[in-house]
Structure 1
């Protein structure tokens, strides 16, 4: 497979970039990641290894921390800048999920709610890629209902806590030095409900173990069940205010949805570029198959859906950077991107005919990654619930 940077002809799919700085950032990421390319990513995944070389270069170039404060080693930009980085990585066939987890979720939460000591300790490493932090929120019996989390923080006699419980689908914990954990308080509040808090624990802490899940996702990041058996957390490991974890975690969840949307959009752009290239080069009876409307129109329709999803993702990112309520926009962006990515990838595979099912063409092994975005990090059904209730004013259905 040719590993030159991937891009569409014509305008190059740059509708969402409204500033020269953002266009320059996109081009710089495209050149760096395109130098690795889809075949590098496929090879890493096939050998069960990590994309450490690419990760290290991204960190050295300042791309991983582009949205984090300059005083803590970041680029001083915003979520919109990180959105460009994530999308462009995926558009080169390298959808690295750790960028969503460590910089986008953990980095953003710590930047917003971490103590000065936590910011100084963790953010510089998150920004340059020398430190990775996983995120543990999902549980087997909680799903989208975060209020049902049962992983519990019990106070010990030294001013700290002991974490007990388990988490599900914890991505990349095996390659991280620390874990950002959402846990409920052991004692209920005055209303009888257990409030949530955020904690940081080292991944080599006593009592912390994890077991890999058998996943169809073809990514360097593996998925795990994570078990907490009286895992100690010092007082300094509490993020923000005790009991306000649910409010604080949304500092990371909305950016997570934007980041996921951008990764889906990048995958879609990669697929469309490959589909368009094949439709131009593949000839039947001396005619490029792209000249036929039966091939051209589905690709064009998929392109339109992707561009609309990209605009929504960038709108959500810019609203977040402006300090506006970006919940609705972030949910809509993720919904649109998930659907558009599956449609674009499916059509690109179809254009390739039987070759679309060959890993040599770099499309088929992206299927479950693209399909994931219709389910996670928030399902399309929960997005529809949010829009129905908060945007349309309809009665709550759950």
Structure 2
């Protein structure tokens, strides 16, 4: 199914993306974020060169690759100091769901835009009173003649101010008012009744978070993606790629922090000796390198399983990869700051901006505690604890 050495094509893709990202770098990304601007130039270049569409089917203008290829793009951008959060959402979750479950008309409408980066789409599942429990979502969608009517709200939804539409997870309500299994509907951000409000965050990122409100938003019949009550199986077709991509975003950020820390440890001299010669500095960095590489390997396995159609095994591996990557990036950024001493939190070195983002990797898009619950129950066969 997979090899421990990536294919020549995948390695060439990584090199090409790294070359593109090097022309932007952390200074560009951080300056855009602090100015409240978007990284439109980088996104447009990545789309023009085909990197955002590597996993879109060829018949719709994409590269015809798998989630492993898209994850490689995401990782290399993050490793170059440009962690694009919307890569986790738009070309990974939304394009994957539409490619797998959309109608022919939906695929023709949306996938070419995903392939070039001309279209960005958000994804909305989280609700304030549901948290990690997707079974408790209350946002509802019901039929009204030839239309759908959406009502409810979502919380912590990424990039609503820069996407054309949002793929919303809502519970299907039948004709007698019973709330059935989840459905997926595409909601244009300019639809009447759709409002969104910015949530201020400490994370330094051009991509902002929002609360969304749906006040009887009317949608055409073709807004529905897949079955009316598709349930969690269809939903996790998008969430497993999300976890693989989140792991790649995290390992990319970890690689950047580790590269910066080791460069500093080689060049910073105290008492006529580079600080990297001391085991108190070298060993923690070596431990971080091992953690990052193990997380990358687990992410590679998860992507290979998903691309092979092994959804159940991919779900387990994607959760493990997300957990490992979240722990690795949090530990690595923390250690990189420690190696730099006071410089670790100076604006000159930029590591402070990574601190909140790295810590977020242990929380979103699924918390480490819920992953441990999943592994305990599904991998170890222990009784369900929640």
Q: Pick from 284, 291, 301: which aligns with 2:287?
A: 301
Query: Distance between the aligned counterparts of 1:30 and 1:337, measured in 2?
Result: 20
Deviation digits for residues 204-245 of structure 1, max 9, x if unmatched?
000001000011111111000000001111111110111104
Q: Secondary structure at the match of 1:229?
A: strand
The number of residues matched between the two structures is 382
Note if 1:257 corresponds to 2:208. no
How far did residue 246 of structure 1 move?
2.5
Q: Unmatched 5+ residue regions in structure 2?
A: none
SS in 2 for 1:63: coil
1:85 to 62, 66, 73: 73
Equivalent in the alignment of 1:109 = 97
Tell me the SS of whatever aligns to 2:150: strand
Distance 2:376 2:210 in 1: 33
Q: How does 1:1-398 map to 2 (within 5 A)?
A: 17-157=5-145, 159-187=146-174, 194-324=180-310, 325=312, 326-398=314-386
Report the Cα distance in structure 2 between the residues aligned to 1:259 and 1:189, rounded to whole angstroms.
40
CA 1:193/1:57 → structure 2, altered by over 3 Å: closer, same or farther? same
Q: How many Å separate the matches in 2 of 1:164 and 1:41? A: 36
Question: Secondary structure of the residue that 1:194 maps to in structure 2?
Answer: strand
Counterpart-to-counterpart distance in 1, 2:113 and 2:263: 39
Normalising by structure 2, we get a TM-score of 0.97
In the alignment, the residues of structure 2 paired with residue 392 and residue 247 of structure 1 have an alpha-carbon distance, to the nearest angstrom, of 21
**Contact 1:198–1:245 (8 Å) recurs in 2:** no
- The residue aligned with 1:9 is none
- How far residue 154 of structure 1 moved from its aligned partner, in angstroms, is 2.3
Q: CA deviation at 1:55?
A: 0.3
**TM-score scaled by length of structure 1:** 0.94
After TM superposition, the structure 1 stretch with the greater mean CA deviation from structure 2, 269-278 or 236-245, is: 236-245
Distance 2:355 2:162 in 1: 24
Question: How far off is 1:17 after superposition?
Answer: 4.5
